[in-house]
Structure 1
């Protein structure tokens, strides 16, 4: 069985190679380890190998891990759908939120971020493939959403996030990721200091890096198949 150290090393190598092939510095791409359904012990093992940033989808599971590992220098990212009645613990306990898809959520995070905390880094989630089952604003709605949230106190708009539709067609995969890269460039005309494009998972990380991703969200390639028994 491949150890977590070997998987981690392989993923880091994949990112480095993809960045080099895209004529980018590997330092421009952050590996976000998606630890949903994984145990605190698994998170700690990966953290001890040097991984700093971890992404969680399920709030209560995430809070349990944050409490269990509160003595570790981990940067926690919330990447799952956000219910409006669950924004306070997200605003209080996380450094990043990738899944802001409407003004109401952004305003609640802004109001509930503790005054003595650094601004909460947020990404606006775009439903780039326009799937009915997916969260995210439509591409056509993005400019208005940016205008509504860009100056809110307590949060800092960093960029965009997307989960393109799953496909085995490389051309479709590339097209969706390229469309996100174009949206990101357009968004920078509204907010010039945007610096984050969160896209790419275990199955499409290389193409995502080629299309400008600055954060790739990797779970399966690091931890193996999801373990829902822990959820």
Structure 2
């Protein structure tokens, strides 16, 4: 198993789980509203299927992949293993138009939706025998030129468009904040709540994907319901 042996991998995963639980407990102590349980998304890009299987056997359910072809190969490898059936796959990479069919056919969640043209393609290409594709809008909360994502002022139009797509289930927002900006999480939470209040008809609006290995505790304190952790679980990428 490259880069980490099985025991180190499980130890790392258990430590991250504990850190997430501690952050939740701390947030409960300071929050006025109830803190939702936080989902741990294990970011498994560039890591072998065998490592995913090891964690799935421990009870890890949600895995995030950035590279489409690599992810599809892992899915094929794992689908005949009992734990493979339990895995929930999240696409967290950038989406080109020529990738939408494979994404729509293979994934349970897409976290990086930023344009209506892509939303329409994912909707049209989602197979009828599959449940609607869970989608998060990637928000460029700090308006950075180097980052993907929908700008805050574009959010209402994109939500209105996605609401019309029957094969998509809009679940919330995802951000990758600027390193230097400490209130990105809080501002995203405010936007998330504003959408919830403006659109009571969005029954699935329940997910705020914020926080990675370095800043997950801060994200959870600010209302994150899903943290995306790669390095702290799997070790550094090759």
TM-score, normalised relative to structure 2: 0.89
RMSD over aligned Cα atoms: 1.5
Give 2:12's aligned residue.
7
1:131 deviates by 1.2
Work out which of the residue numbers 21, 26, 33 in structure 1 matches 2:42: 33
Report the 3-state secondary structure (helix = DSSP H, G, I; strand = E; otherwise coil) of the residue aligned with 1:166.
coil
CA 1:66 to 1:26, structure 2 compared with 1: closer, same or farther past 3 Å? farther
- Show the counterpart of 2:141: 128
- Other-structure match for 1:226: 237
Indicate conservation of the 8 Å contact 2:42/2:229, yes or no.
yes
* 1:123-169 per-position Cα deviation (integer Å, ceiling 9, x unaligned): 000001111111100111111111111121111001011111224xx
Contact 1:150 1:191 in 2 (8 A): no
Match of 1:143 in 2: 156
The alignment covers a number of residue pairs equal to: 222
> Following superposition of structure 1 onto structure 2, how do residues 39-50 of structure 1 map, counting pairs within 5 Å?
39-50=48-59
Structure 2 unaligned segments of length 5 or more: list them.
none
Superposed CA offset, 1:198-225 (max 9, x none):
1110011001101111110000010010
Q: Report whether the alignment pairs 1:153 with 2:161.
A: no
Q: Name the residue aligned to 1:102.
A: 115
Cα distance between partner residues in 2 of 1:35 and 1:123: 19
CA distance in 1, matches of 2:127, 2:149: 26
Query: Which residue in 1 is equivalent to 2:218?
Result: 207
Distance 1:41 1:129 in 2: 37
Unaligned runs of 5+ in 1: none
Q: Indicate the residue corresponding to 1:176 in structure 2.
A: 184
Question: Displaced runs of 4+ in structure 1, greater than 2 A?
Answer: 24-27, 189-193
1:140 match: secondary structure:
helix
CA contact (8 A) 2:27 2:220 kept: yes
C-alpha contact 1:7 1:221 (8 A) present in aligned 2: yes
1:164 equivalent in structure 2: 177
